[in-house]
A and B are shown apart, each in its own frame.
Chain A
Amino acid sequence: MSERSRLEEILKAGSLEEILGTAVPYPKEIELKGRISRSIIEELSKIKNEPEWMFRHRLKALELFEKLPMPKWVVGVEELDLENLVLYTKPELEKEVKDWDDLPENIRKTFERLNIPEIEKKFLSGLTAVFDSESVYSQLKDEFEKKGIVMLPMEEAVRKYPDVVKRYFGKIFPAGEHKFSALHHALWSGGAFVYIPKGVRVPFPIEAFFVIGSALEGQFEHTLVVADEGSYVHFIEGCSAPMYKGFSFHDGMVEIYAHKNATVKFTTIQNWSRNVINFNNKRAIIEENAYVEWIEGSIGSKITYTYPASVLKGNNARTAQYVVSLSNGPFLKDTGAKSVHVGKNTSSKIVSKSISANGGINIYRGLVRIGKGAKNSTATVSCDSLILDEESRAYTYPHNQNDEPTANIIHEATIGKLSEDKLFYLNARGISEEEAKSLIVLGFISEILEGLPFEYVEVLKKVIELEFSEVGGVG
């Protein structure tokens, strides 16, 4: 099918379920489940044929997982029985995957339904596709490989570049931060390693796409992006899952290291089905004069916890964090951003936009800390909530701490409601309530959409229209 008509089909689909359909059982080579213990880790490490140091890293993380308490602020996980989850699923691959055609039909079809192969061909420098626990496809276009750019499944990088990986893996986001980061480090599987050499600019985005194919499954992918001095890369993460009964659990991690003068943009568009409990651990360390931009878009899932964090380590380091969260229906998004200022003249900007509809709840939880010595640093936080009806809620819990007298933090928050008069105005112009809502929501987040590639904006617009159409969404 031509790429254009495929994109059009996606844009015209009646609902999200139509795009991915219901999960179908598929052949798995290996499944690990049961109590999270040393024997599970041993088995996982053996399957992955990984070096001793990584095995030890996992064991240390397991020890921390057992010791650390359940974070007090986490709600909803009581429904989640970790013992009952499949902790590792290796899809059965018949041969080495060099091309989409080498993948088993059901996996290939899942990615095709999401238009991923076409997007890869047209807009991307490289793509990693993760299905359940494994990276099933990973290709970097030749021209970029020649420039020394590395993009590999994380496991392969561990074996191939142990010294580089060791330098960063778990150093940016250590296992011991909380119970779920420990769990992640103990069980991580799949994900991408990206290295951009000094001064190299990657002209088109690199994408990783994650699919959780079955119920009662845990996905613990790990992504590590290292941008060497003066380099540039835009990394896009997409997440999706078909419908199934029962929960699945996502506990992924992203570590970014932006060296001097480097720029990293990291965009996530999460649209898990409504039975995924989604936990994210994302952090960047930003060196002198480097810039990291996070765009964190949370549309799907039952519950999402995500707070991309930037540590402004070097002087003149900068970051921007755009967080968009939509809770349409009985779902919870607990999202926000963190920025920690260490270097002098550092600046951070957090823009959070949440939309609550049909009983949805959004919580903004943010942290800005300017340390003593981070002279002349500035931080701005703006936090806008849009509430579309009486049943929906939005809360904000910002925490700003400034220990440096020459620095300053500006915080703004607004809460907007869809008024009867606004709705009537649009109705009186022939625009239905559903259309009016999607128009207002898209307008509300337009500032953030402007920073995304056109093709993604088109798909996102469609997703939001579907959310508020009579057939789509879960109200």
Chain B
Amino acid sequence: MLKAENLRVKVEDKEILKGINLIVDDGELHVVMGPNGSGKSTLALTIAGHPKYQVINGKIIFDGENITNLPPEERVRRGVFLSFQHPVEVEGVKVIQFLQRVLKNLKNLDEIQAYEVIFNAVQELGLDNSMLTRFLNVGFSGGERKKLEMLQAYLVKPRLLILDEPDSGVDVDSLKVIAGIINKLHEEGTAILLITHYGRILEHLKPHRVHVIKEGKIVASGGIELVKTIEEKGFAAVEAL
């Protein structure tokens, strides 16, 4: 479904990704781990199409189509959805209005249909519906932001969900809620590419494959056992494998 081929990416003339190869098949759950500054977030933002991240070599194939040069709104329309590490604040735009717009654009729902879908999803996921009338991410805590990202993913039900550190800045209870939503989407057939620094979210998930990224390259790939090695011995141990 997703294929990154020898992907090299620069940001403001600095090369961050130095030849990434990655294949995620339908319905799989992949985890990307790695130390700070290794290029994890760059990978996520590049796949989603952030204009600051320039692909200098290689390509991104999604469902057989080369999406390397597509604008971000076209990628999400095709089913590639990024849940942000740092969702932005947008003053004056209420969450409900924003979600209605998203569902109009991506799911072709009118305002009233969207309202119903949103309201049901909030109930189903056990989220606090008072967030719907607040301005988008304005004054939201880390946990609230991540939950809103998850709500959006749940509403959109993408083919591929890229999660950029959904567990950072989140308390234990929120972490459980977030992991629960990820599992739910995964069970419904969404493929997942999860980027994490800590690994503690993995206690709640069952990944097919784990990749370790360092200095812009994937230095190791394997099963869940890689996570244990990293937790016990650090990233250096994996690199030596």
Contacts and interface: CB of A to CB of B under 8 A. Distances in A.
- Do A and B interact? yes
Interface of A: 419-422, 424-432, 435, 439-440, 442-447
B190 interface: no
What 4 pairs between A and B have smallest CB-CB spacing? A443-B92, A430-B105, A446-B92, A443-B93
Given A427-B49, A428-B49, 15 more contacts: A420-B51, A420-B52, A427-B71, A428-B48, A428-B73, A428-B76, A430-B105, A431-B102, A432-B73, A439-B101, A442-B92, A443-B90, A443-B92, A443-B93, A446-B92
Contacts of A422: 88, 90
A427 B92 contact: no
A439 B84 CA distance: 20
Contacts of A440: 90, 92-93
Contacts of A419: 88
Interface residues on B, range: 20 to 34
Contacts, number: 69
Interface of B: 48-52, 71-73, 75-77, 81-82, 84, 87-88, 90-93, 98, 101-102, 105-106, 135, 152
A420 B152 CA distance: 21
A69 B106 CA distance: 59
Given A431-B105, A439-B101, A424 B72 contact: yes
A430 B152 CA distance: 12
A424 B76 contact: no
Contacts of B49: 427-428
Nearest to B50: A424
A430 B102 CA distance: 6
Contacts of A428: 48-50, 72-73, 75-76, 81-82, 84
14 contacts: A424-B52, A427-B73, A428-B81, A429-B98, A429-B101, A429-B152, A430-B106, A432-B73, A439-B90, A439-B93, A439-B101, A440-B92, A442-B92, A447-B92
Nearest to A443: B92
Contacts of B87: 425
B50 A445 contact: no
Contacts of A435: 101, 105
A445 B93 CA distance: 10
A425 B106 contact: no
Contact of B76 (A429, A439, A443, A447): A429
B101 A431 contact: yes
B26 to A, nearest CB: 22
A428 B50 CA distance: 8
B50 A430 contact: no
A443 to B, nearest CB: 3
A419 B91 CA distance: 13
